[in-house]
Amino acid sequence: MYFDYAATSPMKKEALDTYLEAARLFWGNTSSPHDEGTRASLLLEECRKKIAERAGVLKEGIYFTGSGTEGNVLAILSLARKGTKKHIITSAAEHTSVHSAMTLLESEGFDVTRLPMNEHGVVTVDSVVNAIRPDTALISIQHVNPEIGTIQPVEAIAAAAKKEGILFHTDCVQSFGKLQLHAIQADAMTFSAHKMGGPKGCGAIYLSPYHAVAPVFPGLTHEKGIRGGTVDTPAIAAFAEAAQTAPSLDSLWVLRNELKKQLDGSSVKWIEGPSSAQYPGVIGLCIPGMEGQLVMLALNAQNMFISTGSACDASSASGMKAALAMGMTLEEARQFFRISFGPETTRAEAARLGQALLSIAGQTVML
Contact 63, 205 (CB under 8 A): yes
Beta-bridge partners for 270: 285
Contact 93, 145 (CB under 8 A): yes
Give the residue among 314, 291, 309, 306 at the shortest CA–CA distance from 356.
306
Catalytic residues, by residue number, are 312
Question: Residue 222: left (phi > 0), alpha (psi -120 to 50), or beta?
Answer: beta
**Helix, strand, coil fractions of the chain, as percent rounded to 5:** 40, 15, 45
* Length of the chain, in residues: 367
Contact 20, 323 (CB under 8 A): no
| Rounded Cα distance, 236 and 40, in Å | 11
DSSP state of 278: B
- Interior angle at CA 336, CA 335 and CA 339, nearest 5: 140
Contact 204, 74 (CB under 8 A): no
Give the residue among 218, 204, 207, 199 at the shortest CA–CA distance from 173.
204
Helix (H) or strand (E) run with residue 113 in it: strand 111-115
Contacts of 202 (CB under 8 A, 6+ apart): 64, 65, 66, 67, 192, 193, 194, 232, 235, 236, 238, 239
Question: Residue 273: left (phi > 0), alpha (psi -120 to 50), or beta?
Answer: beta
| Rounded Cα distance, 318 and 39, in Å | 49
